[in-house]
Amino acid sequence: MQVKVHKESVLKELLTQEDTDQDKKITIEDRGPKKFKILTVNSEIYTIEGTYYLSNLLQELKLAKEDSNGVVEISIADVTEQPGTRISKMIKEFYWDRLTRRLDQKGIDKILSDEKFNTEEKRLYIPYGDSEAFRYYKEITEGMEGITLEILPKEITPEYVRSINDKPGILGLGLTHENNKKRAIPFLVPGGRFNEMYGWDSYFINIGLLLDDKKELARGMIDNFTYQIQNYGKILNANRSYYLTRTQPPFYTSMVIEYYKKYKDQTSVYWLEECTKSAIYEYETVWMQPQKRLASNGLNRFYAEGIGITPEAEEGHYDYVLKKHKKDDSQSVREFEQKYLQREIENKALDEYFLHDRSVRESGHDTTYRLEGICADLTTVDLNTLLYKYEKDLSYIIKEYFGDDFTYEGRKLTSKYWNNKAFDRLQSINQYLWDTEKGSYFDYDLKARNRTNFESATGFYPLWANLCTTDQAKKLINYLLPKLKCKFGIAASSESSLNHVPKDAPKRQWDYPFGWAPHQMMIWRGLLNYGYKDLADELVYRWLWMITINAIDYNGVIPEKFDVVRGTYKIDVEYGNVGSDFKYVPDGGFGWMNASYKLGMSYLSQKLKDKLNELIHPDEVFLNK
């Protein structure tokens, strides 16, 4: 049923009555009567009761476009929609668009703004040699005040990146041609303060885009990664200047294959060929360079180059570490930090710490005590699983779509070539990362020459990549799942793996008790790969129930992460919880959390979806589990 109301008067009355803490949201923490009468323009009255329905009403009023008389039409059916249905619909019809950006005349000013830096200057850096991009950006910024265009040097060194840390800027992305005009290729940002295109976030976002049939956006994400590889030499941590020496976990081939399988009939094979060549280039030049990301044991490590403290970190983030190295008691931590930044103080131990810290950020798991102060010395389960998947993906693409005849820079690279690489990596993974006695995968410490025994959700990655045997999969699930499974999903680490951490040390967001969408999504797919459907269903339901109940209680919130022990987005940890700070309507939710909801709903049976909409607690649905 559609009803017409005067927008501003109803909105004001609703907030006055129900938003008692005046945060422009209606949540369980508000102390209003939780019962509101809507007066329509026809003097009809409709009563809306309960936090969830009142917050839906608030959202619908805010989203509705008013006519010249200030009247809007809203749907009572939308206001009273079942929660699972509403969340899925909001993601598809509203949130993806809110997270979409384009480096065009309309969108460039917003993208150039960077909440991580308090500066009025706005810079756009353009790759060396891309004269077409320079002309395009010069044309669209003509007349805009405060925007500077700068061309990057041909060779990007850590010294150069450090030299522009006080001049941060966005990095240009791909362009396409439509109707003889250049057009910026769209991309999606994670959400909240993250207003740029991130590396591994984009893969998980693309899963959601494909499920919602957002073809142009999914293609744009891949094309922008292709541009990054071809122009910056790598898929970037994100397209900001201070990320130029860092990549992120490699998911590019997975993105390409999943897109091409869905839209093969509408996509040129030449596009696939360009992507395949870009993937090979990235594999060989980013990951397989000795003394850098290719380690001495033949496996790979995260190894992000750079000098000094990462400029994007919030003030105070490194205080716990800096205090340990500050020898002069007359010096404040800030003074010591500044002198170190300006290289007035030399400290090799700190230099090494920040090499590891950058590498942690390259891993995407920033931050965790699994990698703290040691990351660049580890050949990790997650990275080597992903590169095994690259090798198998390239073998599959070449055989399936190019008749096993593929030439790259004058070399014939057959499916057998890539299968052999995958086989060799598998042998090394089993030698260095697989613990036969425990039945689990662990990172390998190159300096200590042993496995770390840190229990992490990344230990499940081999299930996702179909890397392990049936017997290994069974042992892995039996060992690791009881240590990481919580009431509302999989924790990023086991609680016991943090026993060595000093009690005064800060919490790390990629550790227990926090749960993250990418881990859940990979684990679900991994369990399904090996036939553990009942277990996958349970983990999906527990995760989606938590997202749903938080959205119901807190005005539709969809945040970056959750505490999977308490089942809440309200957490006290570094960086807070991005995506939870909004007014009226969630501002796009959070990219990979949106995608996890869409993927989880695609897996659940109708029976389980019905139970989710009825808000039946996971412990009642999965008795004795």
Positions annotated as catalytic residues are 366, 560
CB neighbours of residue 576 within 10 Å = 18
DSSP assigned state of 528: H
Backbone angles phi, psi at 184, to 5 degrees: -70, 135
**Beta carbons of 541 and 615 less than 8 angstroms apart:** no
**DSSP per residue over 145-173, as a string?**
TTEEEEEPPSS--HHHHHHTTTS--EE--
Cis ω for the linkage preceding 186 (within 30 of 0) = no
Backbone angles phi, psi at 347, to 5 degrees: -145, 100
Distance CA 573, CA 507 (A): 6
Structure tokens at 322: 């800096």
335: three-class secondary structure by DSSP: helix
Distance CA 537, CA 528 (A): 9
The count of C-alpha atoms lying within 13 angstroms of the C-alpha of 555, restricted to the half-sphere facing its C-beta, is 23
Distance CA 86, CA 78 (A): 8
Extended strands (E) in 269-335: none
Among 185, 40, 197, 175, residue whose Cα is nearest residue 111: 197
**Beta carbons of 480 and 523 less than 8 angstroms apart:** no
Distance CA 517, CA 523 (A): 10
**Beta carbons of 557 and 551 less than 8 angstroms apart:** yes
CB neighbours of residue 280 within 10 Å = 21
Distance CA 500, CA 498 (A): 5
458: three-class secondary structure by DSSP: helix
Helix or strand run (H / E) with residue 515: strand 514-515
Among 18, 133, 58, residue whose Cα is nearest residue 582: 58
